[in-house]
Structure 1
Amino acid sequence: MIEETEDNHYIILSQKINYEATDGCCTIKDIKKVIATFPEEYSTPFSMYIRGFNYDDIAQALKLSVGTVKSRIFYMRQKLQILLKDYR
């Protein structure tokens, strides 16, 4: 079963967006640049999540609680929405 979230929408879009989008849409390259500006403690769980890892797997791999993983992913989603708002 697929969880209906904005992140899953991002995963689907990331497979279809061109690296050189010309229609004002953000590219994967743009998103990766923004993600790279955040500390690893936030960017790593987020990157794992958008690659398809679930919360439990991320928590186990990074030796964090599931709650911490969820909050870091939420933080990144909020910041990305703000930083990439001009691309909507």
Structure 2
Amino acid sequence: MYWGLSLSKVIITVYGTLREKLGWRSKEVVFKGDKITFRELLDVEPKLKSLILQGGNLIDDYIILLNGVHLQFKGGLNAVLRNGDEISIFPPGGGG
């Protein structure tokens, strides 16, 4: 607790080309309260948001996991994140 406010953190880890585009591999995001939605988390990380959101929707090619479970099964953009949760984001795979 900090000055009477409960602080929580979520860890975001990105892979592949996202590392170069964002300039980081893993990041802790601290927020007030005990929960935040994935949509609200993206508002805190605008560069990440611009890479994985298009027209207000998640780009299907990205694999986004919340504690190892695909985000779509947790509510998508409305998934509730709590203290200690881990987000893993994998970019589209290349091929040729």
TM-score tier by shorter-chain length is under 0.3
Greater relative contact order: 1 or 2 (C-alpha under 8 angstroms, separation 6 or more)? 2
Give the TM-score of the pair, scaled to structure 2: 0.26
TM-score using structure 1 length? 0.28
